[in-house]
Structure 1
Amino acid sequence: MATQFIHGMAVDIAGEGDAVLCIHGLGGSSNVWTPIAGALQSFQRIAPDLPGSARSALPAGALSVEGLADSMAALARALGLKSVHIVAHSLGTIVAQHLAVAQPELVRSLALFGPLVAPPDAARPNIRARAALARQGAAAMQDIADAIVQGATGKETRAERPVVLAAVRELIMRQPPEGYAQSCGALAAAQSAALEAIDVPVLLVTGDQDGVAPAPSVQAMAQRLARASVVVLPGCGHWTTLEQPERCAHELQAFHARLR
């Protein structure tokens, strides 16, 4: 694997073949995809840290979903890619949907884990409050990490998979506080993309204990997409690729096989 810095973003690139652009979610990094990397070994895997997240610089101006989508399109251009498959998680799934609408010639398929169209209105004040908390610094980021570990993972994960809890906690604790706060702001302000305009195969994967992307909401999302299929993972919360990597890898491989 090679790491390049492109437009201020740290980008991990591995393998050869058709390009897969991997877009992590809020509090994530390119390491969200490490547990399922084997499912992508026949592709060129391109996994950036989003602007303001993990190793990537925070650009001037406030982050937005549209701006993050533009940064993904700019990354593809910088790498000379005319089309990509996309794999995304959480906030990254919203970015991916906006990218597919804005750049339909670029996106060949969407595999979305913990997918959401936009936050429900009732959740937006809490996300903004989390942004304010993050700006208090490293100790506050630890508090946020502990809350997310308890609230966004499945009960089986919490009882049986301490390494997963450690990975989620570490991902969030290591986020730059201002970058995380601005990413929260981007999520809180996010609006639905025009899903009805997306005409590529879409895989939607959620957990049966995912409170961020609950199964009924994901099913409703699928109804707005022309070519979507839904998988609900038992015993799984929101951090799907970390909590259920084998099942996620299986579903992703099966999805890509159907595209051939």
Structure 2
Amino acid sequence: MAFQTIDRVAVEEEGEGPAVVCVHGLGGSANTFTPLMPALARHRVIRVDLPGSGRSQRAEGALSIERYVDTLLRVCERLGVERAHWIGHSMGTIVCQHIAADHPKRTASLALFGPLIAPPDAARAAMRARAAKAREGAAGMQEIVQGLLQTAISADTRQRLPLAVAFVRESLMRQDGEAYARSCEALAGAPAAAVERIEAPVLLVSGDEDGVAPPQAVRAMADRLHQAASKRVVVLPRCGHWTPIERPEECQRELRDFLAETARR
């Protein structure tokens, strides 16, 4: 595995083959996709810690979906990647949608876990309130983490999979409060991509207990993908919003089959 910093953004690169770029969500990092790596064994996998997250928390200035898109395109340019499969989780799925809609030649496919087009108004207000809470310091972040452990992962995961709970807890607790607050504000201001223009094959994976990207909203999203070469919706049982962490084997299988089918095209 190779590691480098590109414009103060942490980038990991591993493997050979068709390029895959992984884009994490709010409170995540490159590690969000570690459970999916077995499905990407024959690919060149590029994992980025977005500005304000993970090892890229020291990025200065306001954060936005537009900045995330520009960052990822710049990383691809520096690494000589002209076309890639894009894998996103949560907020990262919004970033991937913008890239696919606005840069179709750069997009071989989209695999989106916990996907949403844009937060509804109530969620935007909640994100701004969470940003204020994060700025209260360690106690504020602790309160945020405890709340998300009850709402972002499924009851079954909490009962049976303590390692998955620990992963989500650690991912969130590792976030710097101010940087996390700016990331919340980026999501609160996220514009919707023109998903009707997306031409690449699309895989949408949600959990039946996902309150951020509920199955009905994911199916409605699929209905808007009029130009997609193909589309598939998968709803995993007894699963919340952190799909790759809560149900890694199922997510590996769906991703592996999706990429194989895309390659056959």
TM range (shorter): over 0.9
Other-structure match for 1:247: 250
* Contact map agreement 2:57 2:176 (CA 8 A) in 1: no
AA at the equivalent of 2:79: L
Paired residues of 2:9 and 2:59 also in contact (CA < 8 A): no
Match of 2:134 in 1: 134
Higher mean displacement: 204-213 or 1-10: 1-10
1:256 aligns with 2:247: no
Mean Cα deviation higher: 223-232 or 84-93:
223-232
Shift of 1:61: 2.6
User: Does 148-157 or 238-247 show the bigger shift?
Assistant: 148-157
* Of 196-205 and 222-231, the range deviating more from structure 2: 222-231
Question: How many residues are treated as equivalent by the alignment?
Answer: 260
Range with bigger deviation, 140-149 or 186-195: 140-149
SS, match of residue 257 in structure 2: helix
- 1:197 corresponds to which residue? 197
For residues 2-41 of structure 1, what are the structure 2 equivalents within 5 Å? Answer: 2-41=2-41
SS in 1 for 2:213: coil
Distance 1:96 1:211 in 2: 20
> Could you tell me which amino acid in structure 1 is paired with residue 134 of structure 2?
A
Aligned Cα root-mean-square deviation (Å): 0.9
Q: Per-residue deviation at 1:57? A: 4.1
Deviation at 1:58, TM superposition (A): 3.9
- The more displaced of 18-27 and 54-63 is 54-63
For normalisation by structure 1, the TM-score amounts to 0.98
* SS of the residue 1:213 aligns to: coil
Match of residue 106 from structure 1: 106
Amino acid of the structure 2 residue aligned with 1:255 = F
Structure 1 runs (4+) greater than 6 angstroms displaced: none
Q: Which amino acid aligns with 1:120?
A: P
SS of the aligned residue for 1:55 comes to helix
**1:220 to 2:223 alignment:** no
Deviates more, 1:247-256 or 1:171-180: 171-180
Question: Residues 22 and 87 of structure 2 are in contact (CA less than 8 Å); yes or no, is this contact kept in structure 1?
Answer: yes
CA distance in 1 between counterparts of 2:142 and 2:19 reads 35
Amino acid at match of 2:250: R
Cα drift, residue 107 of structure 1: 1.1
Question: Is the CA contact (8 Å cut-off) linking 1:84 and 1:107 kept in structure 2?
Answer: yes
SS at match of 1:212: coil
Point out the more displaced range, 157-166 or 49-58: 49-58
Q: Trace 1:89-238 onto structure 2 (pairs within 5 A).
A: 89-225=89-225, 226-227=227-228, 228-238=231-241
Q: TM-score, with normalisation over the residues of structure 2?
A: 0.96
Q: Which moved more, 1:143-152 or 1:20-29?
A: 143-152
One-letter code of the match for 2:244? T
Structure 2 counterpart of 1:86: 86
Q: What is the one-letter code of the residue matched to 2:187?
A: L
Unpaired runs of 5+ in structure 1?
A: none
Residue-by-residue CA offset, 1:54-84 (whole Å, 9 max, x unaligned): 1014434311111111111111001011111
Asked if the contact 1:70–1:99 (Cα under 8 Å) also holds between the matched residues in 2, the reply is no
In structure 1, C-alpha distance between the alignment counterparts of 2:209 and 2:79, rounded to whole Å: 38
Q: What do residues 181-206 of structure 1 show as CA deviations (whole Å, max 9, x unaligned)? A: 11100111112100011100000000
Unaligned runs of 5+ in 2: none
Structure 1 window deviating more from structure 2 (25-34 vs 219-228): it is 219-228
